[in-house]
Amino acid sequence: MRTIQYRELRRMYELSGPRQTVRHLNEALSEGHLRPGDFSIRDLAEATLGPERVRALDPRHGETVLEAGDGVDVTAFSNITGQVIQAKVLEAYRQEAFVLSRLVDTIPTSLDGEKLPGIGRIADEVTEVHPGMPYPNVGFGEDYIETPQTTKRGLIVPVTKEAIFFDRTHLVLQRAAEVGEVLGLNKEKRLVDLALGIVNNYKWKGQAYDTYSATGSGTAPDGNWVNEIDRELVDWTDVDAAEQRFADLLDPNTAEPVLVQGTTVLVMPAYRHAAHRVFRAAEITYTAAGAETATTAANPLATYRVVDSRLAYRRLIASGVAPEAARRWWLLGDFRRAMAYMENWPITVTQSPRNAEAEFSQDVVVRYKASERGAAAVLNPRYLVRSTGGQDGSPE
């Protein structure tokens, strides 16, 4: 634990102003030079408000800590504490366990669900241009998807008089971490449910579709595709079966192959080691049926990124898939091109105004509200292949 020079911090606040001080703290916390646990709420209050003000938290003094006067800037305490709490919220919100949140891109949007326009691919019908003749014009076909409505989620972290008086910094930071974890977990659940096909919100050209299809025609006008198999992940042949699904997918506008290359495989925890064995083996050996010799070659699957998700496994079970079947599921593809998180605003921490009602009625000195608004959306399901693991394990 680092020692915070609170008097120097207050002096910086007085000389450089709140904006520069908060920026400096934010950089130090973001880069890991300081951690939220290095701070003491009581010591911070004494440095910014003065020891007398902190002692006045005792009701026997009949005063209030946030009463401005005597040249004391009462916003210094709330601003600096807010940066510490924000760092703790973000730390929990972005933890490593949230796999899908790191696999997909975040697309900023100011709309509550929107229509994302695109241009249908032009068929490769190159017309020969004779000398002196004009080049032919091409038309552009309408192509668009509609993303779902966004939702807002948030929680409040209170800092009470008791938390300052008894220096319950750990309790305040624990609550901040819980807020960040709950908001991050909720976002991850929405992404996981969408990736697994438990929830379907793909809407293309005004028509809603399931993300995965086991039957259909990739050239049909209604956009059917086949991107589901039923193979257990045992060796490279199972990966090849998934890759063949990509090879068979055609662009519905042009009937040309969809230019997709799988980059990532997502497995359940039970198959984490099996997946690493398949994708990280130095060599693979192939023996054709009835052949007397075997062929050994370098593993062509080493370029794939392998991730596993305990949450995905639990979400499958919650959706009605039997545990034995759920543990065999796996996904392969390019998650960044298949899905995205449509974000109105990122995780944001704001503080309550001074002299709020909660200060008088609940002894809450200041409150910090963490919120985010967004929605998980399928952009193009043709960039993912789902395998239900060699058993009948579709969600109910």
Cα separation, 274 vs 149, in Å, equals 38
DSSP-derived 3-state class of residue 11? helix
- Identify the CA nearest to 224 among candidates 215, 233, 232: 215
**8 Å CB contact between 164 and 54:** yes
Cα separation, 45 vs 239, in Å, equals 59
- How many helices, marked H, and strands, marked E, lie in the chain? 13, 15
DSSP-derived 3-state class of residue 279? helix
Note the pLDDT tens digit of each residue in 187-218: 999 999 999 999 999 998 888 999 998 876 54
- Identify the CA nearest to 251 among candidates 219, 211, 205, 216: 219
**8 Å CB contact between 191 and 205:** no
DSSP-derived 3-state class of residue 215? coil
Residue bearing tokens 């039923």: 230
**8 Å CB contact between 185 and 98:** yes
At residue 70, the pLDDT reads: 44
CA dist 90 → 31, 99, 274, 330, 352 (Å): 13, 16, 33, 29, 19
At residue 13, the pLDDT reads: 80
Beta partners for residue 374, in sequence order: 151, 343
What six digits make up the tokens of 115?
């229509």
Cα separation, 273 vs 308, in Å, equals 10
Strands (E), 3-150: 105-108, 115-119, 142-146
CA 74 to chain centre: 36
pLDDT tens track, the chain, 396 positions: 566 777 788 788 878 887 888 888 888 888 888 889 888 888 888 887 777 777 766 666 555 544 544 444 567 788 888 889 999 999 999 988 899 999 999 999 999 988 887 645 555 555 678 888 887 766 555 678 899 999 999 999 999 888 888 888 999 999 999 999 999 999 999 999 999 999 999 998 888 999 998 876 544 545 568 899 999 999 999 999 999 998 888 777 767 777 788 899 999 999 999 999 999 888 887 777 777 778 888 888 889 999 999 999 999 999 999 999 999 999 999 999 999 999 999 999 998 876 667 666 778 888 999 999 999 999 999 999 999 987 655 554
Cα separation, 288 vs 294, in Å, equals 7
Backbone phi, psi, residue 258, to 5°: -75, 125
CA dist 349 → 136, 157, 366 (Å): 56, 10, 13
At residue 46, the pLDDT reads: 83
Beta partners for residue 173, in sequence order: none
Residue bearing tokens 């503080």: 351
At residue 45, the pLDDT reads: 84
**8 Å CB contact between 99 and 266:** yes
At residue 122, the pLDDT reads: 53
**64 burial via Cβ count (<10 Å: 0-12, 13-18, 19+):** middle
Which is it for the CA torsion 178, 182, 183, 185, positive or negative?
A: positive
**8 Å CB contact between 31 and 87:** no
The helix (H) or strand (E) run that includes residue 376 is strand 364-378
What six digits make up the tokens of 82?
């807010």
Q: What is the pTM of this model?
A: 0.84
At residue 105, the pLDDT reads: 95
At residue 391, the pLDDT reads: 61
